[in-house]
Amino acid sequence: MIVSVEKKLDDSSSNRYYIIDFQGRVSRKLVEFGGNS
């Protein structure tokens, strides 16, 4: 159950979203949107 998505900027130009689960842990799986957004 995902209650919030925290947007962070990676060293890469691509934007990566760290998925915060209901326990407040950061999932290692990153939802990466290809290309510049």
Nearest to 2 by CA among 17, 12, 15: 17
pLDDT at 21: 54
- Please give the pLDDT value at position 17: 54
Q: Which residue has the tokens 């979203």?
A: 17
Q: With the CA atoms of 6, 11, 13 and 15 taken in that order, what torsion angle do they form, in degrees rounded to the nearest 10?
A: -10
Give the pLDDT confidence score for residue 13 in this predicted structure: 42
Please give the chain's pLDDT, 37 residues, in tens: 555 565 555 555 444 555 555 555 555 555 555 544 4
Model pLDDT, residue 3: 58
pLDDT in the model for residue 5: 60
